[in-house]
Chain A
């Protein structure tokens, strides 16, 4: 392992790139930890955002004004304000109020706040895509289902959502790729993700360009993985005669 790293450092040195931080056990460790944190952050937020998206879409299409109106307001506010400001509103304001209320027993770490904020933020975008999918379900299908005595919850869960999923999948995958890129914002509130680890290293070693290449490659790889999973899912879920 270390043999290969040394060879890599010497090879890149020929191009004037300084990757010597890879040989330092502490800096390499913090980089690997950062990468793992980012991957974990992505996994949690992907699940959280999908749950939030389904909940918001269900509220939007429920046909009840007291559910649809708040969901609509929430989505419009979320879509038209920067994520960073939302993160600050949550972490610096709500977290401060929570700490004042319960003292140091505050259970929410910065990591948890990032997961909550990005989940809700991307959930709003998922909800718009899913709403379009739910509304695209033919009325005849709904009538057939309700004539079979489906309750409105069963209707949503067993008829509308499976069809809406297929309809909305391309834009959901697009949102998820955006989500992966958005997790870089976590470094703003000192969550030790890969961006934060890189900032810590380049403030010491002054090798910004080298770390930038690593960061771009890492996020490119993550987006690529999400894209491939999405394509595979699309192919697997394809129904003849529906969508596309």
Chain B
């Protein structure tokens, strides 16, 4: 069982997986030296800067979306745990609506309902599609962050509240010096998981015409028009997303195990 392997002396990763390492090295060597001979790999090499720019767009959208979503989500989460029902109700509605709507529908919503240009003062400022997609992803992100925040506060044993109240802490003091410092540790794994999910959600941006990784891949596959290249480029896109999201999910698992008993 799993317990046996963790109880034995921990080996470093390369020594535990020699086969995988050899396979990776062989693949890298094949890509570097074996590639330029075939037209398919030459085309991939030629298109790789464009793909990198496209993926950069995906990552930019995901980072901005999680930043906006976290700020908004913490605010809404704070409203959701307040003792007043008048602030709780709008927060509950916000969370329910944006957690239960399909992300694709929200992205279409922000793309088509928001204006193409913003009128600020006397000047018109362009409102590019990728910003709208970012907002479209930030909305469900904020609802999820709010739920993560509410869940983290709810997971603190109520005895801590009672103990600190008996020590004459005010509600604000309890939050600042007792509850919140523990919450951030508990929120980190689900928050990172949410970030990975949002990164995968940025793939939807191509459907509303943002020049992201998938859009670039489609253009490339139509331009080069070779069967082998089409196969290669779509699986490269898959591999790129995997290479970005898999480490995040591994770190999340590691943190979950580490914080599980503390």
| Shortest Cβ gap from B180 to chain A (Å) | 27
Nearest 7 A/B pairs, CB to CB: A82-B203, A181-B102, A82-B200, A184-B102, A80-B245, A208-B112, A84-B203
Chain B, residues 195-223, CB within 8 Å of chain A (1/0): the string is 01000111110110000001000000100
Chain B residues within an 8 Å CB radius of A209: 113
Cβ-defined contact, A82 with B249, below 8 A: no
- Whether B231 lies near A93 (C-beta < 8 A) is yes
Docked Cα-Cα span, A223 to B105, in Å, equals 14
Judge if B5 is at the interface, Cβ distance under 8 Å. no
B203 near A100: Cβ-Cβ < 8 Å: no
B221's nearest neighbour on chain A, judged by CB, is A92
Q: Is A232 interfacial (CB 8 A cutoff)?
A: no
Asked if B45 CB lies within 8 Å of chain A CBs, one says no
Q: Is the CB of B235 within 8 A of A89?
A: yes
On whether the beta carbons of B100 and A223 are closer than 8 Å, the reply is: yes
> Using a CB-CB cutoff of 8 Å, which residues 50-78 of chain A contact chain B?
76-77
B227 touches A96 (CB 8 A): yes
Please name 10 pairs of A and B residues whose Cβ atoms are closer than 8 Å in the assembled complex, sorted by A: A76-B249, A80-B245, A89-B234, A96-B230, A100-B227, A184-B105, A187-B104, A199-B108, A212-B108, A223-B100
Q: Is A2's beta carbon under 8 Å from chain B?
A: no
Provide the B7-38 mask, 1 if CB < 8 A to any CB of A, else 0.
00000000000000000000000000000000
Instruction: List the B side residues contacting A185 at CB < 8 Å.
Output: 104, 204
- Within the complex, the shortest CB–CB distance from B202 to chain A, in Å, comes to 8
B246 contact set on A, CB distance < 8 A: 76, 80
Contact A84 B214 (CB under 8 A): yes
A84, B241: Cα distance in complex, Å: 11
Which residue from B97, B101, B102, B231 sits with its C-beta under 8 Å from A97? B231
- Cross-chain contact B231 with A81 (CB below 8 angstroms): no
> Contact: A81 with B102, CB < 8 Å?
no
Within 8 A of B (CB), among A176-193: 177, 181-182, 184-185, 187-188
Is the CB of B103 closer than 8 A to any CB of chain A?
Answer: yes
Report which residue of A76, A89, A177, A181 has the largest number of chain B beta carbons within 10 angstroms of its beta carbon: A181
Q: How far is the CA of A26 from the CA of B206 in the complex (A)?
A: 29
Other than the given A85-B237, A89-B235, A219-B105, 17 more pairs (CB < 8 A) read A76-B249, A80-B241, A80-B246, A81-B242, A84-B214, A85-B238, A86-B238, A88-B214, A88-B234, A89-B237, A93-B230, A97-B227, A181-B101, A184-B102, A188-B207, A208-B109, A208-B113
